[in-house]
Structure 1
């Protein structure tokens, strides 16, 4: 079965309604390692209800439709689909609690050719239903590894940000917790790949892997810490391209380059010397 381009590009993804609480936004921060120093006054507002603030990257997880490609007859070989890129654009600071609606649409499908897969881009606009404020836009790119050469338009996606060719301005290392994936999945991504050792082994991994968005959130928080002094209003956007999985318990090295009101970054797994996220970019206000 091959991709039905016309059906996929015009597919209707139902709106997603979600209500999150103060407890949920606190849990998100804890799940990506914020609050390891419980006396740091800069971090406390993200993990304590007093003067509570919300991490910008929480927006990247909100009002998700789940793995909709698995449930819709588009011809996509969903078993071979992987998360390739993730971009978040923040229009308003995220409130500690809110009721939301996420409006989704597929914006691009690019045929990379036989054996090279296809890129599927979908966009999610998230609104606060009480105020009608547009909180954020999430643009997610999926690589359908088994679907190249289906006959769709070749096209070309915008190139990723170019990482500066020089030594980084800042280097941040943070060891992830051994139970990091078990914590992060409580944000709503209950894929057993991140919790069940049997499922992980069948997928070719020695153990359950960490969610890509957890690694993305940890990297953005390193920028928030070292570049923005934990001023969450300073973050306008976050982008990253996923290149390798991370195992819970591994140490992440985030290298940061500051140029022209932006912070470029990469994430390397220290123990294995592999790059988990490349071409990362945080837009600053």
Structure 2
């Protein structure tokens, strides 16, 4: 069964109302590896309930519609699915606990050609359930490696943010735990690709890989600590292109370049393989 563009564009997502508390905020931060130094007050603000702050990237796990592309009606080969790109625009800082509503829609479905895969572009907004205030807007590109050649349009696609042709202004290294994916999935992404060796093998990997959104959050925290004094209120937006998977236990090194007007370019490598795993990153600071 092949994917049908019209079916995906018309996919109906129910609003997702989600309550979260300090335990959820702490668990998300622990899933990113924060708290590795229990004496570091900058880390403790995200993993200790006294004065707890929510990480600005936590919006990506809230109001999530679930692993909807695994629904047989989509026609997608979900075992070969990968996260392609992720953007978040932060309008209002998230509290450490509250009640939110997520609204999702499919924006476009792009055919890269037979044997080259397809792209599903979706958007999600996250609002305070009681006041209606907008917390953040998110855009996501899902790469369906096994679903190209269905006869859809081949574009348009967004131009990647360029990486400067010079040495980075700073680097932030973040070790990950071998069980990092098993911790991160407790925040709501239950794709077995990140837990089940058999599913990972069927997807072309020799072992479960780290969630792309976990790597995204790690890079976001690296930007905060490296360029914004760890202040979660200063991050206005973050956008990346996923270029390769991270294996749990590897060290992620985020390279950061200062640009004009509070804009940063960044990318992330895994130290052990020298491989770029996040590329064409762009962050904006307040």
Per the shorter chain, which TM-score range? Answer: over 0.9
Residue aligned with 1:43, SS: helix
Alpha-carbon distance change, 145 to 194 in structure 1, aligned in 2, over 3 angstroms:
closer
Corresponding residue for 2:141?
141
Q: Summarize deviations over 1:219-275 as a string: whole Å, max 9, x none.
A: 111110010011101101111111111111111111111101112111111111211
> Which region of structure 1 is more displaced relative to structure 2, 170-179 or 225-234?
170-179
Residue aligned with 1:233, SS: helix
> Which region of structure 1 is more displaced relative to structure 2, 131-140 or 152-161?
152-161
> Which region of structure 1 is more displaced relative to structure 2, 1-10 or 270-279?
1-10
The CA distance in 2 between the partners of 1:39 and 1:115, in whole Å, is 50
Structural RMSD (CA): 1.5
Q: Which residues in structure 2 correspond to 1:19-38 (within 5 Å)?
A: 19-38=19-38
Corresponding residue for 2:6?
6
Structure 2: 5+ residue stretches without partners = none
Alignment check: 8 A CA contact 2:101 2:127 kept: yes
Corresponding residue for 2:250?
250
Corresponding residue for 1:18?
18
Offset, 1:73: 1.9
Offset, 1:59: 0.9
Corresponding residue for 1:151?
151
Alignment check: 8 A CA contact 2:82 2:142 kept: yes
Q: Which residues in structure 2 correspond to 1:103-118 (within 5 Å)?
A: 103-118=103-118
Q: Summarize deviations over 1:27-59 as a string: whole Å, max 9, x none.
A: 111211212222222222111111111111111
Alignment check: 8 A CA contact 2:80 2:203 kept: no
The CA distance in 1 between the partners of 2:10 and 2:186, in whole Å, is 32
Offset, 1:126: 0.9
The CA distance in 2 between the partners of 1:249 and 1:258, in whole Å, is 29
Structure 1: 5+ residue stretches without partners = none
Offset, 1:194: 1.9
Corresponding residue for 2:65?
65
Residue aligned with 1:19, SS: strand
The CA distance in 2 between the partners of 1:139 and 1:234, in whole Å, is 20
Offset, 1:132: 1.0
Corresponding residue for 2:281?
280
Q: Which residues in structure 2 correspond to 1:1-285 (within 5 Å)?
A: 1-71=1-71, 73-260=73-260, 261-285=262-286
Give the TM-score normalised by structure 2: 0.94
Give the TM-score normalised by structure 1: 0.95
Residue aligned with 1:215, SS: helix
Offset, 1:66: 1.3
Alpha-carbon distance change, 205 to 144 in structure 1, aligned in 2, over 3 angstroms:
closer
> Which region of structure 1 is more displaced relative to structure 2, 275-284 or 37-46?
37-46
Residue aligned with 1:216, SS: helix
Alpha-carbon distance change, 59 to 21 in structure 1, aligned in 2, over 3 angstroms:
same
Residue aligned with 2:89, SS: strand
Alignment check: 8 A CA contact 2:17 2:129 kept: no
Offset, 1:102: 0.7
Alpha-carbon distance change, 56 to 84 in structure 1, aligned in 2, over 3 angstroms:
same
Alpha-carbon distance change, 155 to 196 in structure 1, aligned in 2, over 3 angstroms:
closer
The CA distance in 1 between the partners of 2:199 and 2:52, in whole Å, is 37
